Structure 1
Amino acid sequence: MVSALIFAPMSAMAQDMDPENTLYLDLKDGQVVIQLRPDLAPNHVARIKELTREGFYDGQVFHRVIDGFMAQTGDPTGTGMGGSGKPDLKAEFSDAPFKRGVLGMARAGNPNSANSQFFIMFDDGDWLNGKYTVWGEVVDGMEHVDAITRGEPPANPDKIIKMQVAADAT
């Protein structure tokens, strides 16, 4: 009976989530479940899902991982200078705060330069509010994000093993 009580909240959470707006991010230490936020950033969510379905993120390294701040990935060159080859996205800034577990789109100086790179917040980062696009939030597995190897770049960077839209999960 004890194990049923432990697992019941997880099952209830999973049942309440829309599989089309949920991502599974497989890391070396386990799976991270991400709730997408098309209500905040429909174009960014559409791009993330498109690239995910193409397998774009599979095998990509976390090239910038700053303790107490965030882990960044989504650059096929692993340098922080690359993108998907698709057109950049127009900013979809919102009032959603950059708190622990929030996912945002990385960009250059131009607010409309987000493409494929994204970051996951380790801690709150209020100075980013209204300046970067929030497109998702970790709802389970944050301990696996916390285990990502730190560095700019890390000497031996962690990789995304596989990222998939829950509706497509096999």
Structure 2
Amino acid sequence: MSQTAGVKPMSIAGRAVSERERCLGMTDAERAWRKQWLKDQVLASNEPVHVEEYWKERTNPIRRFYRAPLDKLFSGLSGVLGADRAAVYRYITGKLGLITLGVFATHYYFKYNGNDWTKKGGWRVLKTKPMVLPGQPGFPFKSEKKVPADYADRGFKNATI
């Protein structure tokens, strides 16, 4: 969901946001409004305020569950590292963990769920013929498959039945 919930955001700066507009001339009311607007842009020393109940209401319980381990770890480290650096390290650790999990899951899938003669499913991984150019060793390339039955083997000849 967008921050404005589908409503087009309006500028509260008015025409005074442009230096050119301010140079054209401003009334006293516009000057007072601009002065107040600039004061309002200065954040307090405790800003931004993190309200735990507000965060819990806005986030999904499943998301809070899977984020809990790293949040707990890096909330303890934020005193040592600082809040900003701990947030960056938490983000990087989470992403690297997901990438590692994806690599391991892909490796597991291709190792144990290959497409061979015993199964109907699984991804079939084929090796392409290597490119051997004239003048390179092994030219012309000769296939290791001798009889036509070798081409649709899918591991049947190597099976120990």
Confirm or deny a common fold (TM above 0.5): no
Name the structure where strand makes up a greater proportion of residues. Answer: 1
Task: Tell me the TM-score normalized by structure 2.
Answer: 0.21
Task: Tell me the TM-score normalized by structure 1.
Answer: 0.20
Name the structure where helix makes up a greater proportion of residues. Answer: 2
Higher RCO by CA contacts (8 Å cutoff, separation 6 or greater):
1
